[in-house]
Amino acid sequence: MSSESPALKGMALINDEAKRLPDTPGVYRMLGDEGEVLYVGKARSLKKRVIQYAQGRFHTQRIAHMVHLTRAMEFTTTRTETDALLLESNLIKKLKPRFNVVLRDDKSFAEILLRRDHPAPQIRKHRGAHTIPGDYFGPFASTWAVNRTVNILQKAFLLRSCSDSVFDARTRPCMLHQIKRCSAPCVDLISPTDYAGLVDEAHQFLRGKSKAVVGRLSAEMSAAAEDMEFERAARLRDRIRALSAISMESQINPETVEEADVFAVHAEGGQACVQVFFFRAGQNWGNRAYFPRVNSLVEDEHEAAFGEMGVILDAFLGQFYEDKPIPRLILLSTDVPNRLLLEEAFSLQLGRKTEIAIPQRGEKKDLVGHALTNAREALGRKMAESSAQGRLLAGVCETFALETTPERIEVYDNSHVMGTNAVGGMIVAGPDGFQKNQYRKFNIKSTDITPGDDYAMMAEVLRRRFARLVKEEEAGEPTTRPDLVLVDGGQGQLDAALGVLADLGLDDIAVVGVAKGPDRDAGLERFFMPGKPPFMLEPKSPVLYYLQRLRDEAHRFAIGVHRTRRAGQMMSNPLDEIEGIGAARKRALLHAFGSARGVSRAAVVDLAKVEGVSEALAERIYGYFRKG
């Protein structure tokens, strides 16, 4: 439910709302002048919580300021306080309210997937939703960590990593089998029963039964040596060494913790760092530092007892586990106001008991202490970088006569070869450096553009980006409007950009063209702005170096996108272009003839022998490869 009382605002509006609220759990939202969400909160009793705001007994000036800005409120009742907690976390992550602690989560974690939808299960790296049938193991804090683990597991358990199409098309073992990283189930060099045994061993290892697996392999190796089967014993020895490498390469491998996430928070100077360590199967699977946007509001005496760090970590946990696997044990550096409620919510999500603990002694306390040290050091580095970044952005503001220091800079560049595979790239930078989760690529789609027309390509990219922005703003969706747009090029690219923004009614956004110097020499760049003659900056200016980095990053990103698109076109299979050939028929043809080239040389009568290929389709395939 929602309400708006135009005649009332601030405390008077909140007092009026409280009169009609139920004494039930729920979530409330405070809205500002433009309908923007200022704050999202949950309550065991909506009526009692909102009355607290109306009474004016504020714990901080920030709460008083938030109440003063409130122009409307929205409410959602829930069945339980646990449901309210989950809804609150979801809304904060989605709406990013100004006065909440907001998790800046840039990407999903990598996992290991042991597929179960094929007679010969595949092991592979995975990101995203669990849509493929199989067993998922993670999270891994970095792509490097998951790639290393997959490689070692291949050596230890000889499981395939190839795609189904490659698997089905094999007629002889691949290189991975020759270097002892696959048992070659594709050509039946291992029986289905024995392969299933390897899969089961890998599953046990990833579930934390590593000692049992290694012990069994060691017993087999000893038995093979006693039976004079030295070659088999050597293979088992190599597998044991591979498994040992996982433990040896991790800095911390606890003896008493099989599965846990460790969180430590450190706050200083209005900023905070939450360091997260992941332990699975008794091994350290990496760590990651988060820097949540901190506008901590201690709402009552209960929260005040836990301090700022407890309130920050409390808000962080709810948002963090909205889309991530929840372990059986969560260790914290400080207690949080909603610990019991979070335990209940996570247990409901997981379908089994989850414990949240603040260890006081032993190995678990040492793990938390190590995470806290990392949090302090990461925040120190971040604050030093932010200070330098702030000075550079202030210099950009002065250089281009902007009204305020830019919080979001978007940089655009195009890439193509003789007009082919043309793409545009957008990178984003701000106070926290490059924001890579905000990067965007644009495949040039217009057929009216003359190949190589950089002005028209820049116009298409900007039109698509900002037309979407306008559409989102009209729909009332959260948007990210840049404070400064940099386009790679001179007056022509600048004019193209200004024309697009003027057509969309966005001519209040500052636009600057960055043209490379003669012979593309760095340091001789010229800058183009509307209504001003082109100008250069001092060769040793820190602002010039910063702008060069932005331009070079946009160039690197655009070239990378272009190369990926070009490589994809070169690697595309001609069978994909033939009407009537889907994944199953393509797989059958490749299996029968070995490759697309083999299909191209086949006669109609041979093509028609392939399962699923009719005589008419065989003639179509034959004609496709001879259409010249």
The 10s digit of each residue's pLDDT in 80-97 is 998 899 898 889 888 888
Each residue of 357-388: b (16+ CB within 10 Å) or e? Answer: eebeeeebeebbebbbebbeebbeebeeebee
Q: Are 167 and 189 in contact (CB under 8 A)?
A: no
- The more confidently predicted of residues 576 and 423 is 423
pLDDT value, residue 335: 92
214-223, 234-243, 393-402, 598-607, range with greatest mean pLDDT = 393-402
- The three-class DSSP label of residue 260 is strand
Pick the CATH number of 2-95 from 3.40.50.2000, 3.30.2290.10, 3.90.600.10, 3.40.1440.10: 3.40.1440.10
For the CA atoms of 236, 112, 562, 105, the dihedral, rounded to the nearest 10 degrees, stands at: -140
Classify 260-378 by CATH class: alpha beta
Tokens of 301: 């005496």
Sheet containing 110-115: give its strands across.
123-126, 110-115, 134-140
Q: 206 vs 113, 150, 240, 243, 500, CA distance in Å?
A: 11, 11, 15, 11, 53
- The three-class DSSP label of residue 524 is coil
Q: Are 458 and 497 in contact (CB under 8 A)?
A: yes
Is residue 244 predicted with pLDDT exceeding 70? no
For range 519-548, the mean pLDDT: 83
Is residue 568 predicted with pLDDT exceeding 70? no
Contacts of 308 (CB under 8 A, 6+ apart): 267, 296, 298
Tokens of 42: 């949950």
* Total H helices, total E strands in the chain: 21, 19
pLDDT value, residue 28: 93
Contacts of 518 (CB under 8 A, 6+ apart): 524
Residue-range domain boundaries for the chain = 2-95, 110-249, 260-378, 409-569, 574-624
Tokens of 428: 């984003």
Tokens of 347: 């247990």
pLDDT value, residue 368: 93
DSSP E strand boundaries for 82-174 = 110-115, 123-126, 134-140
- The three-class DSSP label of residue 356 is strand
Q: Which helix (H) or strand (E) holds 511?
A: strand 510-515
Is residue 231 predicted with pLDDT exceeding 70? yes
Tokens of 186: 């594709």
Q: Which tens digits make up the pLDDT trace of 481-525?
A: 899 999 998 999 999 999 999 998 888 899 999 988 665 556 678
Q: Which amino acid appears at position 88 of this protein?
A: E
Q: Which amino acid appears at position 113 of this protein?
A: L
What's the CATH code, domain 574-624? 1.10.150.20
pLDDT value, residue 105: 66
- The three-class DSSP label of residue 522 is coil
DSSP 8-state symbol, 451: T
Is residue 252 predicted with pLDDT exceeding 60? no
Decide: pTM greater than 0.75.
Answer: no
For the CA atoms of 179, 184, 186, 188, the dihedral, rounded to the nearest 10 degrees, stands at: 150
Q: How much of the chain exceeds pLDDT 90, in percent?
A: 21
pLDDT value, residue 248: 47
Is residue 377 predicted with pLDDT exceeding 70? yes
Each residue of 577-593: b (16+ CB within 10 Å) or e? Answer: ebeebeeebbbbbbbbb
Q: 409-569 is classed in which CATH architecture? A: 2-Layer Sandwich (3.30)
Q: How far apart are CA 210 and CA 255, in angstroms?
A: 12
Is residue 549 predicted with pLDDT exceeding 80? yes
DSSP 8-state symbol, 284: E
Q: Are 489 and 513 in contact (CB under 8 A)?
A: yes
**Main-chain phi, psi angles of 156, to 5 degrees:** -80, -35
For range 115-128, the mean pLDDT: 88
- Same CATH fold assignment for domains 260-378 and 409-569: yes
Task: Write the DSSP string, 179-221.
Answer: TTS---GGGTSS-HHHHHHHHHHHHHHHTT-HHHHHHHHHHHH
Judged by average pLDDT, the poorest of 242-256, 279-293, 374-388, 442-456 is 242-256
Mean per-residue pLDDT over the chain, rounded: 83
Q: Which amino acid appears at position 500 of this protein?
A: V
- Nearest-CA neighbor of 513 among 554, 558, 563? 554
